[in-house]
Amino acid sequence: EAQVTQNPRYLITVTGKKLTVTCSQNMNHEYMSWYRQDPGLGLRQIYYSMNVEVTDKGDVPEGYKVSRKEKRNFPLILESPSPNQTSLYFCASSSGTYYEQYFGPGTRLTVT
Amino acid sequence: AQSVSQHNHHVILSEAASLELGCNYSYGGTVNLFWYVQYPGQHLQLLLKYFSGDPLVKGIKGFEAEFIKSKFSFNLRKPSVQWSDTAEYFCAVRPSNTGKLIFGQGTTLQVKP
């Protein structure tokens, strides 16, 4: 089944403790992206990747890192999480920027 | 900065009523336009998209949207809503030749049976 998977689905952590949210797709998509969803703000793009080893900032990249070492994976790294990064995070992928994005199930992160 | 604005944050309709959700964007160049839907507890999924050609596009589940370039708008419509259309709806814009995708704030639609 074609899908985008994210792990973990739920995470509660403390300020400053590094964490990684994984994202994997099995559709051989070139394009992958991370978003955060906050009430009243919709989805905001954090980072995106047009292909392996090619990443670029979205609208809210501060406090996040990404890497794209292989086509199927696009992990989101929070080196020193803070409470304002408490949010619902979505990973998405597509065949290219001209195609629709397929979204993962989301990761709900709480930073205390 | 590029932005997308959805005028209605929360809409309540009765079944069989007509729906129109507004979406405006601020970007002067060529864009691709999308409407996504998020049903309760589910992933975002694509309703419809516009890339070029006929500005009236049809999507899944009876939804359609019209791109009016002069008004920088891409409003979503459905002639007769059903209770199962209860969801959150997001308009999104991709400036051409970029990997960025800019979402609006979302509109929560509640359809009363």
DSSP assigned state of B41: T
Residues 43-82 of B with CB under 8 A from A: 43-46, 49, 51
* CA B75 to mean position of chain CA atoms: 6
Secondary structure (DSSP) of chain A: ---EEEE-SEEEE-TT--EEEEEEESS--SEEEEEEEETTTEEEEEEEEEETTEEEE-S--TT-EE--SSTTB--EEESS--GGG-EEEEEEEESSTTSPPEE---EEEEE-
Do the chains contact at A41 and B51, CB–CB below 8 Å? Answer: no
| Helix, coil or strand: residue B92 | strand
- pLDDT at residue B99 is higher than 90: no
Summarised one tens digit per residue, pLDDT across range B6-51 is 988 999 999 999 999 999 999 888 899 999 999 998 889 999 999 9
Average confidence (pLDDT) over B87-101: 91
Q: Which residues of B touch A100 (CB under 8 A)?
A: 34, 46, 49
In this structure, what are the phi and psi dihedrals at residue B65, rounded to the nearest 5 degrees?
A: -145, 150
CA atoms of A85 and A63, how far apart (whole Å): 8
A112 to chain B nearest CA, in Å?
24
Summarised one tens digit per residue, pLDDT across range A75-112 is 999 999 999 999 999 999 998 767 788 999 999 999 99
pLDDT of residue B28: 83
pLDDT of residue A29: 95
Q: Which residues of A touch B34 (CB under 8 A)?
A: 100
In this structure, what are the phi and psi dihedrals at residue A19, rounded to the nearest 5 degrees?
A: -145, 160
pLDDT of residue B42: 87
- pLDDT at residue B1 is higher than 80: no
Summarised one tens digit per residue, pLDDT across range A22-72 is 999 999 999 999 999 998 898 999 999 999 999 999 999 999 999 999 999
Residue in A with minimal Cα distance to B89: A42
